[in-house]
Amino acid sequence: MKRTLMISACVALLVLAAAPALAGDDDHIVRVTEASNGKTKVLAPGTILEVVLEANPSAGLKWHLTSKNDPVLREEDDPEFSRGETKNPAMNGAQRFRFKADEIGSTLLTLVFRSKVESDDDTPQEFNLSIDVR
């Protein structure tokens, strides 16, 4: 009886210890939108940062990452576009970027909104987010 109780207690402790890993990725995702432009986010190492910005790629209106290969914040995969309701009638959805907080440190994440028809004289819209991984 005591042995069964001891084994059950050990199994329960193992399940509790593994619970964060089994909970899913949503526990470690921080989502930001245009409302975070110009702000600072503090992230723990391993956290996924998801940036969601209104866009309309079919009209050539989309966001571009200006800095690549940053050791603090690594781009996880290619940007994705999803259709949906937006506040701006010129946009037909949102572009989603995913980054992983890889190393302790600070960096500035900059995305630039460009149109296919913009000239070099046009000043593109920017999204800037200071990142502090600690």
DSSP code of 39?
-
Nearest to 39 by CA among 112, 134, 132, 104: 132
Determine the average pLDDT of the residues in 97-110. Answer: 96
Q: Which residue has the higher pLDDT, 71 or 122?
A: 71
pTM score? 0.73
* 97 CB burial (10 A radius; 0-12, 13-18, 19+): buried
| CATH annotation of 24-133 | 2.60.40.2020
Mean model confidence pLDDT for the chain:
80
Half-sphere exposure of 105 (CA within 13 A, CB side): 11
